[in-house]
Amino acid sequence: MYLHTDAQPLFWLPPDAPAGVYGSAAPAPALRPFVERIHFGREWVDPAHPIVERVLPDGGVHLIFSLGDPPSVPGSAGAASVAVGARCAPSIIHMAGRVEHVTVTLRPGGVAALLGVPAGELTAQDVPLDALWGPRAAETMERLMPTPPTPERARALAAVLLDLLAARDARPDPAAAEAVRMIEGARGRIRVRELAAALGIGERRLEQVFHRHVGLSPKAVCRIARFRATVSLLQREPERAWSALAYDCGFYDQSHMVNEFQALAGLAPGEFRDRGCGFFQDAPAAAE
């Protein structure tokens, strides 16, 4: 679900997924400048057969509230509620037992407003939310626990976020949101100096905006946007020749594309395509 955006819904359920396992809701108008989407879900995973999921980077910052058995993430503290910083590498998640969660995907420009720190301070980290919110993190968990994993739970979390924004009198940063929109529109094929010029700011100022409100450099966000565009094309045309795919998506050559897949997905393009393209379950945990 980390790959779902308004413009590019790359996440989909496997054909055998039970109805109601996962869902998502668009935020209320007052939240939309800060929050892209709220996801919720619940499923049972036999502890004797844990699932390993590979989550691909989308360049965003996410808030994750684990209401069941918390997933195991290598290198993570395993807190019940965490802020997941932007990153340029896949995350491997081990899940077993009662898996129940609600996740918030933040928009560029909404990170500092909702978390109180520059996005760059969270880069490639999973930070316990109580380190950022204090007692509000535990209070939010208590507020979410009684709600069912339906849009009702998304509304309960949205109310918490609206209260937080009102208390801080927060404002989104339009330059950050517009910059990321332009990068996505260009499928990552835009130079940093061209982006800065289009926004009417200097390159150094642009880097500062991205550090505070995105958490990655403009160049890194371009890499992810190009990768996402490549994945989208690969979904539509899985038999396309690799050399043609590399050329059409703006890589220097096929080797460059292979290196980017290895860095951003942890897999070669062929293996990535064969496993399903996107947010997907890996082989059983023993294979990792």
Read off the pLDDT of residues 117-146 as tens digits, 9 standing for 90 and up. Answer: 999 999 999 999 999 999 999 999 999 999
Determine the length of the chain: 288
19/222 Cα distance (integer angstroms): 35
pLDDT at 7 over 50: no
pTM: 0.87
% of the chain exceeding 90 in pLDDT: 60
* pLDDT for res 288: 34
* pLDDT for res 54: 83
More confident residue, 130 or 110: 130
Please identify which residue in the block is written with the tokens 């420009």: 109
pLDDT at 280 over 60: no
User: What is the 3-class SS of the chain, one letter each residue?
Assistant: CCCECCCCECCCCCCCCCCCCEEEECCCCCCCCCEEEEEEEEEEECCCCCEEEEECCCCCCEEEEECCCCCECCCCCCCCEEEECCCCCCEEEEECEEEEEEEEEECCCCHHHHHCCCHHHHCCCEEECHHHHCHHHHHHHHHHCCCCCCHHHHHHHHHHHHHHHHHHCCCCCHHHHHHHHHHHHCCCCCCHHHHHHHHCCCHHHHHHHHHHHCCCCHHHHHHHHHHHHHHHHHHHCCCCCHHHHHHHCCCCCHHHHHHHHHHHHCCCHHHHHHHCCCCEECCCHHHC
Q: Using 50, 70 and 90 to split pLDDT, how confident is the model at 192?
A: very high
* pLDDT for res 55: 85
Q: What is the pLDDT of residues 165-189, one digit of tens each?
A: 998 887 878 889 999 999 999 999 9
Report, at the CATH architecture level, how domain 22-168 is classified: Sandwich (2.60)
* Greatest mean pLDDT range, 65-74, 233-242, 250-259: 250-259
More confident residue, 13 or 94: 94
Q: What is the pLDDT of residues 32-84, one digit of tens each?
A: 999 999 999 888 889 998 888 888 898 999 999 999 988 887 766 678 999 99
Half-sphere exposure of 71 (CA within 13 A, CB side): 29
